[in-house]
Structure 1
Amino acid sequence: MDLDPAPSEADAKKRPAAQALPAAEKGSDAAREEARPAPPGPAANARPDQPEGVGGDLGQKQGPDQPQKPRRKRAFLIFFLVLLVLAIGGGIYWWLNRGYESTDDAFIDGHRATIAPRVGGLVIRRLIDDNQFVKQGDLLIEIDPRDYEAARARAQADLASAVAAQAQAQANLDLARIQLPAQLQQADANVGSARAQADQSKANLASAQAELARAQADATRYTQLNREQFASRQTFDQANATAKTSAASVQSAQAQIEVTEAQIGSAIAQRAAADTVAQQLAAKAAALRSADAQVAQAKASLQTAELNLSYTKIYAPADGWITQRSVEEGDVVQANQALTSFVFGTPWVTANFKETQLAGMQPGDPVDIVVDAYGGAVFKGRVDSIQRGTGSVFTLLPPENATGNYVKIVQRMPVKIVFDEPPDRKYSLGLGMSVVPTVHVGAGTPPGQAGGEAGTHPDTKPAAGTSN
């Protein structure tokens, strides 16, 4: 910018006065005096737009700086107006945003699961594709079932065998419950019979001994009579034969007693053997319980085989979206191998607010949600819950502030925000998408409270709006 001052009126008067000096030198002294320029005065130095009394030397010294004063005034006025506008704008912004908390450290979150087979095998059918929407119960993947069908048939055969063994054990127990008591009764009867026979043998022995004594007496008497010729020889021989027969009968009776005593011992032994009826029944019952256990085991094996066979078909657990598919037909997969990810249910927002922004925030506060991908759409939601711990506390290596130098850092608290209504299907809200939630602090009613109560912190006042 050219700052040279414009020629003043005094300078314009000096130039003709200076040009008149040569002509004045040729004239008289009076002409010189007349031609000499007059000393500058107030009237000579004054500008037409200056007030009286301003001019002379003071006007000549300040003339070049005078145009800068209005410019400085204008600059100061503009600066003041800018500050005033900023102050008014800041006040209006604070007024409009008081009681609001916002953050850009927020993301879409939701339910997600990993689809994995319960059994291994060859993939023979793949009915899903990347980012495909499926409904609950839709068949997703099928594994070759032939090995598991054979395992089921084997389990069915084992169950049939176990059931047959169980029936045999039950029959044995029922038969033992009938036969063993009868055998015990028979043993008791045998003991009684043997004892009766022994008594009879003793009686026979006594009779034989008495007969022997009579026969011996007769033989002795007939022997004496035969010597005296009072008895015939025939009678004498008959008496001796009778004595011998009676002696043989005594011996036979004695032998019979020994036999009956042996029979009594055998009957008592049989009775003792038959007296284990309770133990034998217990053994039969144990065998039946073992057969029952074998049947239960066979049933469990069959159920396991049927479950494994059913696991060869993988169905959608709910309505949702297939993501990160990593399986193809012909792949041999292992049990619990991740085949695809599954996103289902209504999403929500996880917003990481600064801890200084949580004053007055409570469950139930309304939230305006703006998704970066759909900037023109505003979703309505509400605060569901505030995590009881900062994000850094639940990391793999949480900070240890008890050692070393400590530098205070404002922590962030995850806040779960749910949508008031499920978002329209035309808005594809994928997990991890960036959002900007704005919470109306203190404007909601916490769950379980009515009448517009303040919530868990009734004495807290809404904090001034901040943003990050």
Structure 2
Amino acid sequence: MKTESTNNTDTPDKAKGSKLKLRLLSLAGVLLLLLSGAIGYPLYKHAISHESTDNAFVEAHVVSVSPRVAGHISRVLVSDNQMVKKGDVIAEIDPRDYQVACEIAVARVESSRAEVKEAEALVLAAEKELSQKKAELTSTTSGLSKIKAEVDQAKARYMRDENDLSRMQKIAKAGAVSIQEFDHAKAQEAMARANLNSVKSTINSQSAKIIQAQAAIQAAQGKLQQAYAQIDVRKAGLREEEAALEQARLNLSYTRIIAPCSGYITKKSAEPGNYVQAGQKMLSIVSDDVWIVANFKETQIMNMRPGQHVEIEVDSFPGIVFNGHVDSIQRGTGSRFTLLPPENAAGNFIKVVQRVPVKIALDTPTVTAGYTLSPGMSVIPSVDISTGKIPEARQVASTETVEH
């Protein structure tokens, strides 16, 4: 009887314990479910509103520095990984050969200037000679006019004496004048005729002098034109020598190799005593202005827009998140700009998901933030695309296009 009562007492206790365990398990399941939702929902929300890739790297402006003239390096003023400012002298090439070339160019310029002055003097002499010839022509022309006036006078006297002689002959036939008076009139007419002929011959001589003066003017004009042409040639030669001098001075200035931008010296191969050719790479300068180039899949960039916020994780700095924004999206996939772009129209075509480079700018300079990002470092950017989704109408249109 005691045994039966004991069993009856244990049975309710076991039932209560089972119910308690069941409740605890249910509560633990609910708590686990809530905890999973609390942890999983943000991750799910982040996953549907962000696009990320591990095919991303740090990029920066890398400037290759090379000399513009050839020569032996006399000094190198920088070392590897040294910070330089724009305009700092990096190295110097032995300038003596270029100094001599500059002095030769200066001497040639001075010689050309002397030749120009000589040509200018020839022009002045030719102009003076032309003026003299023109004055002589004017004087000769005036003399001709004077002689023509004398001819007119001589002609008038001749006609007067000729008329007198004609009247005298008529009168002499009638015996009204003496032989002496007739002879005098006859002589007077002969003298007038001789004077007229003499004056007429002077006109021919004066006309010949005018022709000679005109020919002399033409010769003087030709000489002046030659002098002008000579001065143009000399001035052109002077400009050529001045340009050569300017080039020589530029070459002399190029012996001092200047930093074209601010940054850090890398890949330095220049040493004092080395002979370098123009265009030969001596070193590179990496600027502090860095950005990220992320190669997203073409299926990831549908809602990607410039200006969207980006969180950037750098392998070199685990646990550090850099903030940035989408700067621009390249108009073309990476394969399109390779040395040998794929020709999809020829041969068999296999569709491969393409990568599109996206430029991401950092919101805070890494130097200011105290971190050093170098070109080539691997990063993982995560772009917040929640604010850049395409309009609903365009989504419907593209869906309809796909279905058709």
Shorter-chain TM range is 0.7 to 0.9
Indicate if the aligned counterparts of 2:262 and 2:285 stay in contact, CA closer than 8 A.
no
- Determine helix, strand or coil for the equivalent of 1:424: helix
Stretch deviating more after TM superposition (411-420 or 375-384): 375-384
CA distance in 1, matches of 2:234, 2:367: 61
Query: Partner of 2:278 in structure 1?
Result: 335
Letter in 2 for 1:414: P
Partner amino acid, structure 2, of 1:153: E
Deviations 1:75-129 (A, max 9, x none): xxxxx99xx8998676663234331111110001011111011111111111122
SS at match of 1:93: helix
Structure 2 letter corresponding to 1:264: S
TM-score, structure 2 as length reference: 0.73
- What do the CA deviations read for 1:399-433 (whole angstroms, capped 9, x no partner)? 11112222211111100001001103643311111
How far did 1:168 drift?
3.5
User: Is the contact made by 1:191 and 1:268 (CA closer than 8 Å) also made in structure 2?
Assistant: no
More deviation in 277-286 or 385-394? 277-286
Task: Kindly state the Cα deviation for residue 275 of structure 1 after the two structures are TM-superposed.
Answer: 5.7
Quick one: which amino acid aligns to residue 264 of structure 2?
A: W
**How many residue pairs end up in the alignment?**
349
- Deviation, structure 1 residue 184: 1.5
Query: Structure 2 counterpart of 1:388, which letter?
Result: R
Aligned to 1:261: 204
Q: 2:280 is matched by which residue type in structure 1?
A: Q
CA apart distance, 1:201: 7.3
Matched, 1:417 2:360: yes
Separation of aligned partners in 1, 2:251 and 2:127: 43
CA distance in 2, matches of 1:365, 1:96: 15
Q: Is the 8 A contact 2:314 2:380 kept in 1?
A: yes
Which whole-Å CA distance do the structure 2 matches of 1:458 and 1:317 have between them?
46
**Letter aligned with residue 61 of structure 2:** H
1:184 equivalenced with 2:127 (yes/no) = no
Task: Name the amino acid aligned to 2:349.
Answer: Y
Give percent identity, aligned residues only: 39
Aligned to 2:376: 432
Distance 2:323 2:48 in 1: 19
Q: What amino acid is the match of 1:93?
A: L
Distance of 1:405 and 1:294 partners within structure 2: 66
Over residues 283-306 of structure 1, what are the superposed CA-to-partner deviations in whole Å (9 max), with x where a residue is unaligned? 544443333323322221111111
Given candidates 256, 263, 267, the residue that maps to 1:313 is 256
Distance in 2 of aligned mates of 1:136 and 1:352: 32
2:61 aligned with 1:111:
yes
Q: What is the distance in 2 between the residues matched to 1:457 and 1:173?
A: 79
1:441 is aligned to 2:385: yes
**1:203, 1:419 → 2: CA distance?**
110
Partner SS, residue 104 of structure 2? helix
Q: 1:455 to 1:429 in 2, by over 3 A?
A: same
Q: 1:276 Cα deviation (Å)?
A: 7.1
- Tell which structure's C-alpha radius of gyration is larger: 1
**Secondary structure of 1:336 counterpart:** coil
Instruction: Describe the shift of the 1:286–1:280 C-alpha distance in structure 2 as closer, same or farther (beyond 3 A).
Output: same
Q: Compute the displacement of 1:268 (Å).
A: 2.4
User: d(CA) in 1 for partners of 2:97 and 2:209?
Assistant: 62
Q: Secondary structure at the match of 1:118?
A: coil
Matches for 1:44-83 after TM superposition, within 5 Å: none
Structure 2: which amino acid aligns with 1:435? V
Q: Aligned letter for 2:101?
A: A
Query: What CA distance in whole angstroms lies between the structure 2 residues aligned with 1:436 and 1:267?
Result: 100
Q: Which residue of 1 aligns with 2:109?
A: 159
Q: Distance in 1 between matches of 2:255 and 2:300?
A: 51
1:299 to 222, 242, 246: 242
Give TM-score, length-normalised by structure 1: 0.64
The amino acid of 2:207's aligned partner reads I
SS at structure 1 position matched to 2:351:
coil
- Structure-1 separation of matches of 2:346 and 2:67: 47
Cα distance between partner residues in 2 of 1:168 and 1:458: 81
Q: Cα distance, 1:439 vs. partner? A: 1.1
Conserved in 1, the CA contact under 8 Å of 2:60 and 2:290? yes
In structure 1, distance between residues paired with 2:234 and 2:389:
63
**CA distance in 2: counterparts of 1:253 and 1:142, whole angstroms:** 93
The one-letter amino acid of 1:154's match is: I
Say whether the 8 Å CA contact 2:119–2:234 is kept in structure 1: yes
Query: Match of 2:276, as an amino acid?
Result: V
Q: 3-state SS of the aligned residue for 2:130?
A: helix
Alignment root-mean-square deviation, CA: 4.0
Maintained 8 Å contact 1:195/1:260: no
